[in-house]
Amino acid sequence: MTVPTVILPRDNQRAHHWVDNAPAGVVVKFYKPKRTIPQNDRMWAMLTDVASQATHNGQKYSPDQWKCLFMDACGHEVAFMQGLSGDWFPAGFKSSKLNKEQMGELMDFIEAWAAQNGVTLKDPTQ
């Protein structure tokens, strides 16, 4: 079943119609816009730069592991699980759940951390 979606303020009239005609018990949730594809691309470019140039506690990490470290530092829920092989891997909160504002804050934090730790972030347009 497809869930009806409206984008405010563009679809205000349609949203009013749906609310006015909704049966009792219907739940309506409002969400801020999700992160954008360009934001996602930029974040992964930044994480790749960090992973290729930096260590944490003397250890190299993958871009995905760095993402979890930065998300944790920004206060987002992150969990690491021990896999069947005994290796640890990141699980839990995903950056795809971030809204545009949260993604911007995460990237600002990565930029600041990179500057403080001698990591050069490439210009994503080049």
Walk along the chain (126 residues) and give the pLDDT tens digit of each residue: 566 777 777 788 888 888 888 888 888 887 788 888 899 999 999 999 999 999 999 999 999 889 989 988 998 877 778 888 998 876 766 788 889 999 999 999 999 999 999 999 998 666
Helix, strand, coil percentages in the chain from 3-state DSSP, rounded to 5: 45, 10, 45
End-to-end CA distance of the chain: 42
Of all helices (H) and strands (E), which one includes residue 108? helix 100-116
Q: What span, in angstroms and rounded, lies between the C-alpha atoms of 96 and 102? A: 11
